Amino acid sequence: MAYLDRAVIALSPDAVPRFDTFVAELLGPADLQPGQRLGRVEVVGWRHSGDHAHMRWRFDDEERDLVITLQPRNEADGAYLRTPRWNIGYLGAGFDAVTAALVAEVGKRVEAVAAHHNWSAADLHQRWFRRPDSNEYLEITPGKKLYLRVTDYCDENCVFCNATEGNANIVSSKAALRDLLGRLPTGGLSQIIFSGGEPTLVRALPDYVGLAADAGASEIILQTNGVALAAPGELERYLPWRDRIGVGFSLHAFDPVLSNLLTGALNVPALPLQERFRRGLDADSLKAGPNGDAPEQDAAMNEAAASDSGATDADTLDVEEAADPGAERWRAASSAVAKGSTGRYDAKIAAVDRAVALGFRVKITCVVTRLNVAQVPAFTRACWERWGPRLDRLQFSYAMPRGNAWLNPGWLLRFEDCVAPFAEAFEIGRSTGMLVETSQTSCVPPCLMPDYLDHYDLYGDYRGGQTTGVERVKPAETCTGCNFDRICAGVWRRYIDTFGTAELRTITDRPEPPVVMEDYLDQQVLDLGAE
């Protein structure tokens, strides 16, 4: 496959360049496919990394660490050799006469094939190296999981929301979802996750769930703040699929004031998420105590709490009409935000209570910031006391440095600030039997908590320094040779830019943890655009 490093569903024939065509149309005619010998050099394999292709090779049956790089000619990028259509270079140490000769031979061969077809550098980029737009494909995460965002509107404005900076996998109508699912191969997906924005703003969400069930998804997840599900009869609409549904509730505090603060419930702009990020987050009313361990309401919040009133009535807001199916319900939801200072919080708790009582599998996700990290152990105990073994799992997530959290980095924690509270929460889970964990996608790196790997929601094989995406890295100075490489998703570049790498450490005193490989970890394209 080309640029992407995950399995995807391609929505049009040319959405994602294919590695098989790279082999068939270029490497094959150039006699550079894996296994081919160039005198004493053997081509071991090729892979894509960003907008480059990397060739591994052996000389006299000894594999070299140094790789040959290939990309369409680009004057702005460095290259050891430029042909009329290609940049050819190398990465690694140990450059010698053999490497120089190999670079020249690779350049001669790929240039000859491109010249034969009269492909320009722009043609080559479009054919195999173009970065696809997010609306051209849907990403499939490990385990055949497909996240679908059904609206970009939300009736909250969480200070840590990462979805404001941009989202992929947006499916905004039943027709689009029906068409998508109808073209999936049998067994193509095991889990479909409906997210947003706030997916329950879409009145037709139960219909979406039914379509997913009819398509054979063995597990269907609803990610929600839960407020709309507290209304009488709302959860009952999902009962026909109860054996497949898991409801993931976002709940970040067992305290209404702190909950309202973290979710921005008293200041929800009438804008889709990405527009909120573009305009910036107004955090003037979000203040913390001097130790960062308790919220301190300003005059506006005190007045709102005292008057049992909340956000501005939506009728006075300039809400642009939008095709997004969440826009209309946003009006109704926003007009009722914090009618009482505990209104939304009470609705969240009531929704979880009802979901548990109806027998749905229920997960609580608590995103941790500077304001609520000290309450993690107490939050864990409260979840156990209220829902006990009926709660499927409790997951603590570190706030990703993107979206609203990135606009307000003062709310971000160092990883090391989470270690002691998380460890105490994990110990509570061990003593009670409740599953308490942190997620692989937004977690404290495992090297900081090596005694609690059983509380990490791990997946994948990131051997060789690979990460879950381009936003993350594994710094060579701390990660090279780490025995946890295969289970570590990497660290956000922005985190390192902010806090550095001093907390990270290379794990060499513990064995490499076993990794159960899941489907679709390899780069794969389900081509739904082909006729």
Q: Which residues pair with 9 in a beta bridge?
A: 138, 526
pLDDT of 286 reads 39
Helix (H, G, I), strand (E, B) or coil at 51: coil
- State the average pLDDT over residues 298-305: 34
The domain limits of the chain are 9-129, 138-413
pLDDT of 398 reads 93
Res 289 pLDDT > 70: no
Q: Which of 275, 25, 2, 248 is nearest to 137 (CA)?
A: 2
Per the prediction, the chain carries an average pLDDT of 82
Rounded CA separation 104/71 (Å): 14
Q: Are 468 and 490 in contact (CB under 8 A)?
A: yes
Task: Render pLDDT for 343-381 as a digit per residue (tens, 0 to 9).
Answer: 899 999 999 999 999 999 999 999 999 999 999 999 999
Rounded CA separation 8/55 (Å): 23
pLDDT of 325 reads 58
H or E segment at 72?
Answer: strand 67-72
Res 523 pLDDT > 90: no
Rounded CA separation 210/388 (Å): 30
pLDDT of 207 reads 93
Rounded CA separation 355/332 (Å): 23
pTM of the model: 0.73
Task: Render pLDDT for 201-218 as a digit per residue (tens, 0 to 9).
Answer: 999 999 999 999 988 888
Res 282 pLDDT > 60: no
pLDDT of 448 reads 95
Res 424 pLDDT > 80: yes
pLDDT of 283 reads 45
Rounded CA separation 301/338 (Å): 11
More confident residue, 473 or 408: 473
Question: Which fold would CATH assign to domain 138-413?
Answer: TIM Barrel (3.20.20)
Q: How many residues does the chain have?
A: 531
Helix (H, G, I), strand (E, B) or coil at 188: coil
Task: Render pLDDT for 80-123 as a digit per residue (tens, 0 to 9).
Answer: 999 999 999 998 888 999 999 999 999 999 999 999 999 999 99
Res 301 pLDDT > 60: no
pLDDT of 341 reads 56
Q: Are 334 and 197 in contact (CB under 8 A)?
A: no
Q: Which of 395, 107, 95 is nearest to 223 (CA)?
A: 395
Task: Render pLDDT for 25-63 as a digit per residue (tens, 0 to 9).
Answer: 999 999 999 999 999 999 999 987 667 889 999 999 899
Res 1 pLDDT > 90: no
